[in-house]
Amino acid sequence: MARFLARRLLGAAAVLFAVSVLTFLIFQVIPGGDPALRMAGREATPQTVHDVRRAWGFDRPLYEQYATTMEKILDGSVVSYSQQINVEQEIARDLPPTLSLALGAGLIWLLFGVLFGVLGAVRAGRASDRALTVLALLGVSTPIFFLGALMLYYLGYRWGLLPLGGYVPLTRDPWGWFTHMLMPWLALSIASIGIYSRVLRAGILDTLGEDYVRTARAKGLSERRVLVHHVLRNSLIPIVSLWGLDLAAVIGGGAIVVESVFDLHGVGQYAAESIARLDVPPVLVVTLLVACAVVVLGVLVDILYALLDPRIRLSA
Amino acid sequence: MSLPPPTPARSEPTVGTEPPLAAARAPAGPWRLVAARLRRSRPALVCGALVLAVVVACLLAPVYAREVAGTGPDENHITDTVRVGSRTLDVVSPTGVPIGPTWQRRFLLGADPNGRDVAVRLLYGGRNSLEIGALATLVTMLLAVLIGTLAGWFRGLTDGVLSRLLDVIWAFPPVLLGVALGVALAIGGLDLGVVKLSSGSLLLPAAIVGVVFVPYVARPLRGQVLALREREFVDAARVQGRGNVRILTGEILPNLTSTIVVFLPLMLANAILLEAALSYLGAGVQDPNPSWGTMLAEGIRLTPGAIHLVLAPGLMLVLVVFGVNVLGDGLRDALDPRAVAGGRG
Amino acid sequence: MSDPPRSESPDTRGSQQAPPGTGTPPGTGAHDDPLLDVRDLRVSFDTDAGEVRAVAGVSLCVRRGEIVALVGESGSGKSVTALTLTGLTRRLGARIEGSATFEGQELLAASEAQLRRLRGARIAMVFQDPLSSLNPVTRVGAQIAEQIRAHEPRVSGAQAAGRAVALLDRVGIAEAARRVRSYPHELSGGMRQRVMIAMALSCDPSLLIADEPTTALDVTTQAQILAQLRALRAHSDAAILLVTHDIGVVADLADRILVMHAGRIVEHGRTREILHAARHPYTQTLLAAHSGAPARAPRAPGPALLAADALEVRFRARRRTGVHALHGVSLTLGEGETLAVVGESGAGKTTLIRCLMRLMDPTSGIVSFRGADITNASRRQLLPVRRELQMVFQDAHASLNPRRRVQSILQTGLQLRGVRGAQLRPRARELLARVGLGEEHLERYPHELSGGQRQRVGIARALSCEPRAIVLDEPVSALDAPLRAQVLDLLVRLQAQSGLSYLLVAHDLAVVRRVADRIAVMRAGEVVELAGAEELFAAPRHPYTRELLAASPDLSRELAGIGAGLSWEMPAAGPSPAGEGPATGGAPLGGVRSTG
Amino acid sequence: GSSGGTGSSASTASSSSPTVTVLMGTPPDSLDPGLGASTQSYEATWLAYTGLVTYAHAAGAAGAQLIPGLAQSLPSISADGKTYTFTLRKGLHYSNGRPVQAGDFAYTIERAIKLGWGNKQFLTGYIAGAEAFDAGRAHTISGISSNAASGQITVKLTAPFGPFLNVLAFPAAGLVPSGTPLKPLPNDPPPGVGPYEIAHVVPNQSFAVLANPQWAQQAIPGIPGGHANIAVKIVSNNQTAAEQVLSNGADVFDWNDTVPGTLLGQVHAQAASRYSQEPTVSTEFFFLNVKSKPFSSQLVREAVNYALDRQALSRLDGGALTPACYLLPIGMPGHPAGPCPYGDPNATVSAANLAKAKELIVQSGMAGTSVDVWSEPHPPHKEYADYYASVLNAIGLKANVKIVAAAQYPATIGNIKTTNPQTGWIAFSQDFPNPIDFYQLLNAESIAPTENHNLSQVNDPHIQSELTALGSVPSSKLDTVTSRWEALDEYVAQKAYIAVIGYDDVPKFTSQRIDFGALVFHPVYGNDWSTLQLK
Ligand SMILES: Nc1ncnc2c1ncn2[C@@H]1O[C@H](COP(=O)(O)OP(=O)(O)OP(=O)(O)O)[C@@H](O)[C@H]1O
Ligand SMILES: Nc1ncnc2c1ncn2[C@@H]1O[C@H](COP(=O)(O)OP(=O)(O)OP(=O)(O)O)[C@@H](O)[C@H]1O
Ligand SMILES: [Mg+2]
Ligand SMILES: [Mg+2]
């Protein structure tokens, strides 16, 4: 276990290093990406640009710039180019909406994914299963921002049922938080509900064909017990681990889009806006944060997998 | 963008219960069997036909533009008027609101703020979306097959390096990666010495989208190759004196095809969606080439007054991606020897 | 009891009509009423390839305390019959006709709830593969306790757990109290199957259906499980319906044998009658496979062809202790001889072969071919060796690329020998003809071939470069009895034709008896005994060799036990082909009907 | 004792005043006056950081008028136009209660330079010794001296610079106490002198502009005290923002944003009394690179000006555009009143003019030349480019649109070395009400290889000589040279160095509870929050 952790964490560190270098480099090759020009302001004299460059260390060799930036990120003192505010504090402020979004949507898609998956498998081949299949595929096929825009238009604008975006802190107004998050949650989780229900349905059907399920039936167990203790118990294992991985992935993917659509002022939106401003430090920090989440959750999922499935031993 | 998990590359179609009474049947290759199964899946066929219809329609865009709508995709009609029934309407109102669907030849699905015919642009945009989707899928598949087979086959250091590479792409937030690359490459294009992509090229978003999805396919492929290389038929090929290259191409690759085929539509669907998302965030296709993603993104800006600008590309996108997904589903079922018609249990 | 012949069961296949029953099965308590009575059971499935009639009219009956064996080759419908009785094929979409009464209750028409009360409580089942049949994520004790509580709701959890320990103890698992906390994958194959048996016994069923309980196990373990069933019979009055494809397994266990073929019962009768006086040709082939042919006297071996000298293989395992798979193995295969290597699973046989074939590198030691050291030869240097030295694999299915047609599979070897273009097809056809397959098979994919056909294709591939020696890794282990005989015959014939040398690996001594000149017995990576076949069977020197011989489920022992004095196992015994045993009298037992 | 504050101190917001919610589409770049340089920042900081001079709180031309701020009166300017002398008012206090000292002015300017204020080139370029200070060669700015006792402040320039007083009116020159940390304080802005102070900053989300408790005692004539406390909320979706104001969920719409065209109908129907289009002193135009084909030909440039339909462009902007042909916008001294040389921008392009345009292209011999049209994705700038390209195609050129992300846009089109763009969209809004500001865009001295501002790359001797003469006229004496500016602007239009689209109108849009009429739309700083009051 300790060795496993050590190896995995070492690998994780390598991955994070590569991710940070890559991000850093991407912004170096951008034409017009020289932050000194933008920071020096309008009609700046070459002298001014030069000064800015010196002050921020943009005249240093790349690896040195990279090193200092990473150092600042690690000790929490990194400042954005465009607004010159502390990036990590800014991210800490933007974390609640992002976490509300990801965790809430994650729970929703897990819950409904499992529900529909079980329903579909139990009624495999029947009309209700086909309907669920069609719905699931529709969910998978709908772009998040299209769904978000439609919801905003109909639920928010036309029918006035829900607020038109924005974020209300849970601590300030729980009900407001809920109503503001409802549409983002739905927009973010629909596709995953589709995927999870399909994966689980297939998993259950596979498991139903397993010999040990036949054994369980031959033991005279009730169908319910067979389903819950033998079928679900086994087919949920991959789902649970999938969930962990997706939760991390969604922060760097769908959540950014949803935050932008619903104006949640979350970490993803901050990153997307920073990219538009060619502001490297926030992008770097958010990217690392997301990559960190992906890597760490990857390790956690492996551990969880080993806990849930006694056949798996942690190695490699 | 959340993806369906990489389907664990499980048994290839031919492995499974030996078909009963096999000897009595006329020999049917695995692919013919798949085709037969696919032919029996009505939804997959219908959706396949639908996707095909859309593709054909998009290919015929110039014909529609010339013969039906009478305007090109880039022609502005901002200050023009159009007769709808007995009334004469502005194509774009003085306050900038474009006309909605007229359900007639001109401006069938309405106009956009530049007074361009949405139906015409939809067809032209489809070409770009589909082309990017197809190219991206190609990129994904080529890279994934290359990385997956090399890593799985050579193991050791090669595997270590390639797997870390996949980890890096995997850990990189896909939308951020896409947007960052999109922004980075939008002006200067990409110049890797061998590969040169100019900034306006459709290949650019295709390459970005393609790279993002590589781990989703490469990982299961690698796993499959790891398993395949232990199979006895690989030893059999060695015993007959075959080298690595011939074993990879002659023995391993054919066994990966079903996995690849299963992933193709899935990746196509996801590529189209990711391209749309990137366009929404401003890192997609460069104008003046529309894609459904860029059209949708522009439309969203203009809701609520011009909802047709959202619905037209949005529904088209959903329709095609849905069709591709259903087709892929049918294909997967057809390739899965264990799936019995009507489901089990 | 009396079971009058059914008028509706005209038998055109020569199976025995059941005359009025004359007695009770020997060695059991006398119970006359049938416990299970199956009449004209038909089961069919709808598949892609159309309707499959898996069971086409089976009638049988089992009495209390009796052991009835259902024997037949793979795919003959044994499992479907067994599963249908407890309603387990219903949800597979099976169409079921006929009737089956158990303790007077109709099973086929019973509701799911009624069946559920019977399953596990009155009718228990043991399945073929104990690993896949146990829930991998639940401790074995809990799986046993679960069944107890399902049928006896008043038993507390602790009590059920206690009973689970007792049951494991009863089936001979040491340290039962500790083992209940194990997960299935932590147990050996034999232990797992014992757990299955313990589970089956947990509610004192009156009928135990065991579907190939030993097929997935190796010989020694198989012997243990059979002993377990034998013990069960002594201590409980449960009837057993034993399903198997290996007639040798049931020879000394079953009271009666039913032979099944293509969905029908083709022959039935008391064990002894079937063994000694099988009438149906199909039964005879089943038996023939088990006739221990005489061990062959060693021919004078030609000059050394392939040799291993002090081979060592250590696998660097994840744990600190590596696996020592080969330990100083030295062997020589002479020109024109058949050298058999026998050993239980994990003995290192495959590892040895892979070293010899240069598919892996030994940790130390030398492999030589025609005296030349090839231990470190490159792929190119090996090409001429490959041409002369070929291999047939353990798993015929796995060794044929499922994506290539037979034609294309055979081509590779032909090309290695320099055959090109238009020559390829006729030469491939020739090859198939040599292994007894027709031209039509050229266009087939491996999955379109039967197991025996596949292994023949494997042999044809090995022959395709006209080698001087073939290394065969358990070429028949995965095949059932009739196929096994076919393939072995083929090998013998080919050797006679072209003077090939064989290095033949097997885990079962019986298999190699007819073909081997010399036999090497391996255990835990070492060759413990190497002797001429005749000599080895006659006077096994190493205790392990003796153990192997004893575990071999051989009809000879059963027949000997019956007193015919025809045991081939005994060194002194003279040769006697199967089926020639004296047809000891005694009318076949009733209760078996086979309908056309 | 407090000097004079008599008339205007009647209303002063206090902590008990009502709170008004102002929406902002883009967050201010920095709320530290020493750093912030975006309109969003100025909108807030000019109320909290008063400089020696400031603008009158009035709409239209009156608002462009400079009035004394912390100085007792407008400065005396030496004859050579290089020395400005101010006298500080007596008894001023910062919002934290600290008294204001004459030396704080020098510190404020030094701080703005050190922090890197976006427009600091106006300081370093003209104040004597500022350049040396910026480069670290001097510890103070030699050109600024002050007398603590008399309150006298003297600023020496290196050369006469007409709009220098406008520079001092920037909030960046609004005094902060000496010793204020020399690092950006965007989340906790330093104390200043003004009717308001900035507080409760949550970056990118919200901040408050609250009544300055110190203001009541020191009210300065011409600077109103305000009526309400302001809560600013960042809502980046203009759709949402407009709907909120329409439904009275928020009080003031960001004038920098556009009300989506699709919502305009509803706004006109339901909120006509609280919505208006206000002209801004800004110009949108397509630059025409005279150094490269095809715009090196005057004929082609004329053709473009003939063919561009400003009516169509106006619709693309939801009607919020005043079509025009002159660089200097309405509201800027020097804006010519005469007719346009190449067709009337207020009418649809006539068939005759279109034909003429095509003919000019043929005449020029440039037909079929390919042209890259550059723009950025923000609406309606991309739509402009799409339309513009279709016009260029219609008159015989081969146009291709290139869109670049907003953040990269200026650097991209300003790069002569790599991009050297032929034509593209650009908008310019005034930094201060002096035409010289706009003419930086056509000043040959602005041409630079990477940071080019003269995108048409015009180097016209006539323009250069006029700029030298007019540039040194102080802003306070601008009215003496208005006609010369007009002539210059007409000359530029005649030469067709650029193709002007028009002047942007912006929305003034409030909730029902705001007194719409009382809200001043200031020509420099937009909605004047100190005039926000409830009905
Ligand atoms: N669920 C099913 N659907 C379709 N066909 C089936 C199904 N189950 C069994 N069969 C077919 O029924 C026939 C009898 O199968 P069964 O499993 O009873 O054979 P068996 O005698 O037990 O063989 P083995 O020794 O391999 O276990 C086979 O041809 C098999 O392919
Ligand atoms: N690649 C490997 N890594 C680690 N251990 C291995 C490997 N291959 C084989 N072994 C171990 O080496 C020993 C010998 O294995 P081998 O496959 O040669 O046995 P075998 O005699 O062929 O058995 P079977 O009858 O099951 O085929 C076993 O304990 C096995 O677990
Ligand atoms: Mg079976
Ligand atoms: Mg082996």
Rounded percentage of chain D residues whose pLDDT exceeds 70: 97
Over the stretch C206-245, which tens digit does the pLDDT of each residue have? 999 998 888 777 777 788 888 888 888 777 788 999 998 7
Q: What is the pLDDT of residue C555?
A: 52
Report which ligand 1 atom has the smallest distance to the Cα of C55.
14
Q: What is the 3-state secondary structure (H, E, C) of D468-485?
A: HHHHCCCHHHHHHCHHHH
Q: What is the pLDDT of residue B287?
A: 55
Three-class DSSP category at B128: helix
Give me C532's structure tokens.
């001429």
Q: Does A201 touch chain C (CB under 8 A)?
A: no
Q: What is the pLDDT of residue C148?
A: 93
pLDDT averaged over chain A?
85
d(CA C3, CA D198): 105
Q: Determine the distance in angstroms separating the CA of D252 from the nearest CA of chain A, rounded to an integer.
A: 17
**What Cα–Cα distance (Å) separates residue A265 from each residue in A167, A185, D206?**
7, 15, 11
Q: Which chains touch A (3 or more CB pairs under 8 A)?
A: B, C, D
Query: Lowest mean pLDDT: which of B61-65, C221-225, C435-439, C550-554?
Result: C550-554
Over the stretch B95-147, which tens digit does the pLDDT of each residue have? 788 888 988 888 999 998 889 999 999 999 999 889 889 999 999 999 999 99
Residue nearest atom 26 of ligand 2, based on CA coordinates: C345
Q: Tell how far CA D187 is from the center of its chain.
A: 24
Q: Which residues 105-164 of B have a C-beta within 8 angstroms of D?
A: 113-115
Residue D101 has pLDDT above 50, yes or no: yes
d(CA A230, CA A232): 6
Over the stretch B243-252, which tens digit does the pLDDT of each residue have? 889 899 888 9
Three-class DSSP category at C124: strand
Ligand 2 pocket, C355 CB below 6 A?
no
The side-by-side arrangement of strands in the sheet containing C501-506 is C389-392, C469-473, C501-506, C338-343, C518-523, C526-532
Is the CB of residue C328 less than 8 Å from the CB of residue C443?
no
Is the CB of residue C260 less than 8 Å from the CB of residue C72?
yes
Is the CB of residue A234 less than 8 Å from the CB of residue C137?
yes
Crossing angle of the two packed helices D298-307 and D351-364, in degrees rounded to 10: 160
- Over residues A138-163, the mean pLDDT reads 87
Ligand 2 pocket, C325 CB below 6 A?
yes
Q: What is the pLDDT of residue B180?
A: 76
The side-by-side arrangement of strands in the sheet containing C304-315 is C323-334, C304-315, C364-369, C372-373
Q: How confident is the model at residue C567 (pLDDT cuts 50, 70, 90)?
A: very low
DSSP string, A229-251: IIIIHHHHHHHHHHHHHHHHHHH
Interface test with C, best of B155, B224, B232 (most C CBs within 10 A): B232
Pocket test for ligand 1, best of C41, C42, C45 (most atoms within 8 A of CB): C45
Ligand 2 pocket, C354 CB below 6 A?
no
Report which ligand 1 atom has the smallest distance to the Cα of B340.
3
Residue C533 has pLDDT above 90, yes or no: no
Three-class DSSP category at D375: strand
Question: Which residues on D lie below 8 Å from A31 (Cβ)?
Answer: 408, 411-412, 415, 418-419
Side-chain-facing half-sphere of A114: CA atoms under 13 Å: 17
Buried b (16+ CB within 10 A) or exposed e, C145-157: bbbbbbbeeebee
Q: How confident is the model at residue C568 (pLDDT cuts 50, 70, 90)?
A: very low
Q: Determine the distance in angstroms separating the CA of C461 from the nearest CA of chain B, rounded to an integer.
A: 9
Give me C257's structure tokens.
């044998």
Residue C572 has pLDDT above 90, yes or no: no
pLDDT averaged over chain D?
89
Three-class DSSP category at D463: helix
Q: What is the 3-state secondary structure (H, E, C) of A199-221?
A: HHHHHHHHHHCCHHHHHHHHCCC
Residue B300 has pLDDT above 90, yes or no: no
Residue nearest atom 1 of ligand 2, based on CA coordinates: C315
Closest CA to C18 of C591, C595, C596: C591
Helix, strand, coil % (nearest 5) of chain A?
75, 0, 20
Over the stretch C163-213, which tens digit does the pLDDT of each residue have? 999 999 888 888 889 989 999 888 888 888 889 999 998 988 999 999 888
Residue B37 has pLDDT above 50, yes or no: yes
Residue B20 has pLDDT above 70, yes or no: no
Which strand (E) or helix (H) includes residue D499? strand D498-509
Q: Determine the distance in angstroms separating the CA of C117 from the nearest CA of chain A, rounded to an integer.
A: 6
Nearest CA in chain B to C380: B241
Residue D501 has pLDDT above 90, yes or no: yes
Q: What is the pLDDT of residue D75?
A: 92
Residues 6 or more apart whose CB falls under 8 angstroms from that of D382 comprise B287, D375, D376, D401, D403
Phi, psi torsion values for D74, nearest 5 degrees: -65, 150
Q: If 0-12 CB within 10 Å is exposed, 13-18 middle and 19+ buried, where does residue C132 land?
A: middle
CB contact under 8 A, B78 and D385: no
Q: How confident is the model at residue C21 (pLDDT cuts 50, 70, 90)?
A: very low
pLDDT averaged over chain C?
80
Query: Lowest mean pLDDT: which of A269-278, C79-88, D79-88, D426-435?
Result: A269-278
Q: How far is the CA of C322 from the centre of ligand 2 (A)?
A: 12
CB contact under 8 A, A272 and B321: no
Q: What is the pLDDT of residue C284?
A: 80
Crossing angle of the two packed helices B174-188 and A233-252, in degrees rounded to 10: 40
Query: Lowest mean pLDDT: which of A16-25, A73-82, D498-507?
Result: A73-82
Closest CA to D189 of D28, D53, D51: D28
Interface test with D, best of B287, B291, B309 (most D CBs within 10 A): B287
Which strand (E) or helix (H) includes residue D519? none
Pocket test for ligand 1, best of C55, C73, C78 (most atoms within 8 A of CB): C78
Residue C559 has pLDDT above 60, yes or no: no
Over the stretch A287-316, which tens digit does the pLDDT of each residue have? 888 888 888 888 888 888 888 888 777 654
- In chain C, which residues touch A (CB < 8 A)? 83, 86, 88, 112, 116-121, 124-125, 127, 129, 132-138, 146-147, 150-151, 183, 185-186, 196, 199, 318
Residues 6 or more apart whose CB falls under 8 angstroms from that of C571 comprise C537, C538, C539
Query: Lowest mean pLDDT: which of A37-41, B156-160, C340-344, D38-42?
Result: A37-41
Over the stretch D188-241, which tens digit does the pLDDT of each residue have? 999 999 999 999 998 888 999 999 888 888 878 889 888 889 999 988 778 788
Over the stretch C349-379, which tens digit does the pLDDT of each residue have? 989 999 999 988 899 999 999 989 998 888 8
Size of interface A-C (CB pairs under 8 A): 81
Highest mean pLDDT among A100-114, C401-415, D333-347: A100-114
Nearest CA in chain C to A308: C137
Is the CB of residue A134 less than 8 Å from the CB of residue B42?
no
Provide the ipTM. Answer: 0.78
Q: How confident is the model at residue D145 (pLDDT cuts 50, 70, 90)?
A: very high
Q: Which residues pair with D154 in a beta bridge?
A: D85, D145
Which strand (E) or helix (H) includes residue D426? strand D423-429
Q: Does A222 touch chain C (CB under 8 A)?
A: yes
Q: How confident is the model at residue B206 (pLDDT cuts 50, 70, 90)?
A: confident
Is the CB of residue D164 less than 8 Å from the CB of residue D158?
no
- Over residues A99-106, the mean pLDDT reads 94
Interface test with A, best of D137, D236, D403, D447 (most A CBs within 10 A): D236
Residue C322 has pLDDT above 80, yes or no: no
CB contact under 8 A, D386 and B306: no
Point out the residue among B14, B236, B340 whose CB comes nearest to the CB of C445.
B14
Residue A33 has pLDDT above 70, yes or no: no
Provide the 8-state DSSP code for D441.
G
Pocket of ligand 1 (CB under 6 A): B 17, 20; C 45, 47, 52, 54, 72, 74-80, 92, 245
Residues 6 or more apart whose CB falls under 8 angstroms from that of B146 comprise none
Q: Determine the distance in angstroms separating the CA of D347 from the nearest CA of chain B, rounded to an integer.
A: 11
Cis amide linkage into residue C26, ω under 30° from 0: no
Q: What is the pLDDT of residue C561?
A: 44
Phi, psi torsion values for D398, nearest 5 degrees: -115, 100
Rounded percentage of chain B residues whose pLDDT exceeds 90: 20
Q: What is the pLDDT of residue D120?
A: 84
Neighbours of D434 (CB within 10 A): 27
- Over residues C284-308, the mean pLDDT reads 74
Residues, chain A:
316
Three-class DSSP category at C104: coil
Is the CB of residue A100 less than 8 Å from the CB of residue A181?
yes
